[in-house]
Amino acid sequence: MTGDVPAHYGGEPIREEVLGYGSQSIGDDEKQAVVEALEGDYITRGPTVEAFEERVAEIVGVDHAIATTSGTTALHLAGRAAGFGPGDEVITTPLTFVSTAHAATYCGATPVFADIDPHRRTLDPDAVREQITPATEGIVPMHYGGHPADIEGLLEVADEHDLTVIWDACHAFGGTWDGESIGAQRDMAVFSFHPVKNITTGEGGMVVTDDDELATRLRRLRSFEMDYDPDGHENEPWYQVSEGVGYNYNVTDLQAALGLAQLDRLDEFKTRRDEIIAQYDEAFNDMPGVRTPPEPTNADPMYHLYAVEISDEFGCDRREFVNAMHAENLGVQVHYVPLHYHPYFQEEFGYERGAFPETETVYEGLVSLPLHAEMENADVEDVVRAIHRLHQHHTE
Ligand SMILES: Cc1ncc(COP(=O)(O)O)c(C=O)c1O
């Protein structure tokens, strides 16, 4: 077809401006909310953070929500609150962002990878079972792209071995599973509010839990491990003492004001993401060499990613696909280079390529297409057209 040569092979790019795989959506209400917060008494952690935490707890359906500076620091706090430490092993997925494993490493514990269920692209409970040793203390599953991991199966393993579960739900805020929110399951779940995620506070994260003791520990750790009201010092309001090594992971009221205003748009964001996903599914479900994301059986996820898997039948490999999309000014991305390929995990823990075949096979094809609430139908059409013409170029 003349005039339909992919930009990678000399044609005109589909679009002039780059379309990223993810982006924030900030409206006038969010701007107004931040300005109002800026004019308030607190621009550090104050009443707006508390209101944001209460609202998230209510949405997720848990007793406690503890806001932190990022999903990464939320994972760190959760690992510390769980009591992970040197000598402990914590099982997690290799198909994730590096921060998931840092729930263990930041605490001096050892991250132990277990292979994924290639359908869901999340931790396989049977693979977890194979990695359990007397040193295993916890599991950190991740809800890839917002699609729930095998929650039931993983909780079963945790019960069998008395393990703490920290759900890395950084991709999954706003979704439901089996009639409850993803993130409401024991023992703790962690969200990220980075700009590409389902809602944003600029940077930001949250740990949610129903456990009162964990919540108290998380709050203390977030703020210097400080006891602000120690026994025996009732008439000494200045007497605040630290009881361990804590952090300053306090978020600001400015961020919380943005977060609260974003929560008002949660349904709008989910609806738009679902519409885009439906358009992608229709365009790609029957395209040879493109595996569209899995459908969950008893869940209504709020998807962070729309990750396809490209195989030989498409006509070119994943590397060429990604570079061809970039030539069209479509900012596709790959989530993720498996953690056991990273020099840190190889050098520190002895991991090697070949160790997790399911993860590696899935990784070979993965590409995340642009998905965010600000995308217009014309943007979706650009992606569809670019992929069609690349496929045609290779197969006709
Ligand atoms: C699965 C997963 N876990 C943790 C994080 C860390 O979140 P943050 O960027 O808020 O630190 C991310 C962020 O990209 C993520 O994708």
Hey, what amino acid is at 92? T
What are the beta bridge partners of residue 333?
Answer: 368
pLDDT band per the 50, 70, 90 thresholds, residue 297: confident
- CB proximity list for 14: less than 8 A, separation 6 or greater: 7, 328, 329, 330, 382, 385, 386
Ligand 1 contacts CB of residue 304 (under 6 A): no
Residue to substitute in 68, 73, 75, 99 for testing ligand 1 pocket (most ligand atoms within 8 angstroms of CB): 99
Q: Per-residue pLDDT for 1 more than 80? A: no
Q: Can you read off the two tokens belonging to residue 297?
A: 């059986």
pLDDT tens per residue across span 117-155: 999 999 999 999 999 999 999 999 999 999 999 999 999
Centroid of ligand 1 to alpha carbon of 88 (angstroms): 23
pLDDT band per the 50, 70, 90 thresholds, residue 2: very low
**If you search the block for the tokens 């292979």, which residue do you land on?**
115
pLDDT tens per residue across span 353-363: 999 999 999 99
Centroid of ligand 1 to alpha carbon of 196 (angstroms): 10
Check residue 120 and give its pLDDT.
97
Residue 248 per-residue DSSP state: B
Ligand 1 atom closest to the CA of 73, numbered from 1 = 11
Hey, what amino acid is at 117? D
Check residue 280 and give its pLDDT.
98
pLDDT tens per residue across span 181-200: 999 999 999 999 999 999 99
Q: Per-residue pLDDT for 3 more than 80? A: no
pLDDT tens per residue across span 11-63: 999 999 999 999 999 999 999 999 999 999 989 999 999 999 999 999 999 99
Ligand 1 contacts CB of residue 109 (under 6 A): no
Which domains occur in the chain, in start order? 7-24+266-395 (3.90.1150.10), 28-263 (3.40.640.10)
Q: How many CA atoms lie within 13 A of 70 on its CB side?
A: 13
**If you search the block for the tokens 């993965």, which residue do you land on?**
366
Mean pLDDT value of segment 292-320: 96
Q: Per-residue pLDDT for 338 more than 70? A: yes
What are the beta bridge partners of residue 89?
Answer: 110, 136
C-alpha 58/C-alpha 341 separation (Å) is: 39
Q: Per-residue pLDDT for 178 more than 60? A: yes
Q: Report in angstroms the alpha-carbon separations of 30 from 58, 255, 262, 372.
A: 20, 10, 7, 17
Atom 14 of ligand 1, residue of closest alpha carbon: 97
C-alpha 40/C-alpha 59 separation (Å) is: 26
Q: Are 292 and 277 in contact (CB under 8 A)?
A: no
